[in-house]
Structure 1
């Protein structure tokens, strides 16, 4: 187990965590951005399985949120406003008339205080940030800690902790784009996804939840027995077409699942499983990924990666019956998502 620290552009620091199986994870203190995750394939070729810029300087403008910690609220907030206890709060309009991923002062664009650590079986880095009361329009002074831990079992554990001195809206996620083919060898069309979810959230033309939860049965959103992402990309189902052919939807995860999501790339043999205590996940298949970005493994194009944004639902701010994003004053926020990597021969 080892950790290396490297100074990079803009006085940012890059922390590279490596375990005894030569799996490595690289994290910037800027935005808490995961720039690389290198894991072996069935032939023991170690390759990068997330999208990242060739130059770290390009993360300064990161409209696709590559690899970043997203908050205070991950996702879209309708009308860039919400109400808590009859008090209205106005946020930045940064996607039409709505608010996306915390706005310009979101957590993806701040330098976090970083502390690397190492134990006998783990190596990691703890990131801390204090968001002032009123920052971005959100109430409450919020102290946030995100810890990335790499284990010798090829697990990347992401722990989110926070506490606010006022009731506020908050749900954090990581916005890594995964591509298990390795070094962007292929698009994600043939990635096979299994997900324990009976319902997903319907979107309107502005990609805002309508307030309806739809059953996955007999739709391209039914991943309970597994299917390829291409099924949704090529589908004529209205909700797939609505998001520019693919997925950008919140799936409500079935409770008490040991493994919420399993992703497999048949050619490389790589498998990624996801466990979380979050109530749901946005699966985004990079339908709107900016094309022509200079990434570490080539120029970007649509469907180069898939995000699994484990989180609560911003729809809860305007509709009943959704997993809430409200964090009560002085009540600790404590969430975890575990990404595990393995190989099928």
Structure 2
């Protein structure tokens, strides 16, 4: 398998047309209003090759991303909705920034500096992705929009002390930047005025064949993790153990189709999650930015590599897309029509000291930089 190659100048249309390289551009417009009248902005970032990202201020979310295939044909590889109303009507975390704590906290409780805190519960007896109204449901402030070689947008949300039960007022910034190397970088940072917990990630649902193109089960994935944090039941709370992936369906150390082992009934973990919904241990602590996942669509030739410094990677195979969601261009999303890759701290870290720490103190800055690099593999099946 040849390494992904950076594509050259392509057209903004879905057909092959000649184009002239231009400077990257960022434009901003209204995307609609929330039920309480807040204006939601959408910012379009376009690089000189015609690759285009749209980021909305509702949830600091990636609404779409146009990426070329081996023939230069553009397709949106992000599932979601054409209008704001879809995102307001049904909370599915499509493209969203999730926090204050991405993933689950058991029973919505944790102890910090000797004090126990109770969070809002929105996943049975547990708190998921920040609780009843997490960062994904907030209207973020657009701070800065820049055109140029790497067009970008920076958004900010201030989470007040006590928000969803978390201590401390936390100021969060999210920057999306699209480079001429067809690289989308999402940079998160947060500061606080009291000790608190912070674990941010992005919850984009990907389909490298193009949203609405059907199942991702034939797309080939690599995750360079030797172990996972298994869960005890369908509530998906880690047991606290770390187990090896060797000789299990969770072994993606060598590229394989996502769906190859997903129906292995001998795996209790797959039964719990109705498919893949698990945290991979990429490292035991934060390290230099490195590849935490690689996905290739053999049909289109699109390749995406995901980079991060975070120790964990949650991989979710779209198990609960049940055919009741009508998304972009009236496409119906069914089980396995997209996947999610979330670089982050381990789930329920506050209740498992061996997992590390999610504590953020005044004077410190939390950071999570996630990079999605796109290319093509001409050796893939045509």
Q: With structure 2 as the length reference, what TM-score do the two structures score?
A: 0.87
Corresponding residue of 1:180:
208
> In the alignment, is the contact (CA less than 8 A) between 1:3 and 1:116 conserved in 2?
no
> In the alignment, is the contact (CA less than 8 A) between 1:276 and 1:337 conserved in 2?
yes
Corresponding residue of 2:357:
324
Q: Mean Cα displacement is larger for which, 248-257 or 142-151?
A: 248-257
> In the alignment, is the contact (CA less than 8 A) between 2:63 and 2:80 conserved in 1?
yes
**Per the alignment, do residues 54 and 299 of structure 1 end up closer, same or farther by CA in structure 2, a change over 3 Å counting?**
farther
1:151 to partner: Cα distance:
0.4
2:200 is equivalent to residue 166 of structure 1: no
Corresponding residue of 1:288:
320
> In the alignment, is the contact (CA less than 8 A) between 1:42 and 1:343 conserved in 2?
yes
**Per the alignment, do residues 320 and 199 of structure 1 end up closer, same or farther by CA in structure 2, a change over 3 Å counting?**
same
2:340 is equivalent to residue 307 of structure 1: yes
2:273 is equivalent to residue 243 of structure 1: yes
Corresponding residue of 2:237:
208
Q: With structure 1 as the length reference, what TM-score do the two structures score?
A: 0.96
1:117 to partner: Cα distance:
3.0
SS in 2 for 1:22: coil
Corresponding residue of 1:196:
224
Work out the CA distance in 1 between the residues paired with 2:259 and 2:317: 10
SS in 2 for 1:211: coil
Q: Number of aligned residue pairs: give it.
A: 344
Work out the CA distance in 1 between the residues paired with 2:261 and 2:179: 34
> In the alignment, is the contact (CA less than 8 A) between 2:249 and 2:262 conserved in 1?
no
Corresponding residue of 1:226:
255
2:173 is equivalent to residue 145 of structure 1: yes
Corresponding residue of 2:98:
70
1:332 to partner: Cα distance:
0.8
Higher Cα radius of gyration = 2
**Per the alignment, do residues 225 and 98 of structure 1 end up closer, same or farther by CA in structure 2, a change over 3 Å counting?**
same
Query: What's the CA shift string for 1:146-170, capped at 9, x where partnerless?
Result: 1000000000001111111111111
Name the structure with the higher strand share.
Answer: 1
Corresponding residue of 1:57:
85
1:119 to partner: Cα distance:
5.3
